[in-house]
Structure 1
Amino acid sequence: QFFLAVANYGSLKSVPSNSTIFKWNKKSCKFVVYQNIQTYTARDIEAIEINGDYYLAIANHAQDSRSYRLVIF
């Protein structure tokens, strides 16, 4: 299975947006939406493997007086 995660910075500083995970579809030979994750001005997504388990680390960016932290899924 192949996945592609896209960090969405969004258009407004304090409004959440969806960062999207896509899954490769063998039949159509393209990536299709697998899951949307609510993020706040996401800057980066990294895949991490720990002892055979896989995680996504999403780095949200601080805006205004709010601070959004790194989120692990």
Structure 2
Amino acid sequence: MQKFIITLNDGVNYDTVKRQVEEQGGKVVDDSMKNLGMMTIEIPEPGAKQLQSFAAEFTLEPDQQVTTQAAL
């Protein structure tokens, strides 16, 4: 299963999106940023593709390591 970050759009109910994730075979693995409207999920690829059809409710992006480099 792949990990993704979901960011809810304004006015979207967290529990509704969580239920959509679970209906597609996924699960929430980190909801520590729930109060900011974000969650990290694990979901199979077909479920992730299905979730993308809910683009009006939230954004879905792969959870990946991000690095920065300071300019000298």
Q: Normalising to structure 1: TM-score of the pair? A: 0.26
Tell which has more relative contact order, 1 or 2 (C-alpha 8 A, sep 6+): 2
More strand by share: 1
More helix by share: 2
Q: Normalising to structure 2: TM-score of the pair? A: 0.26
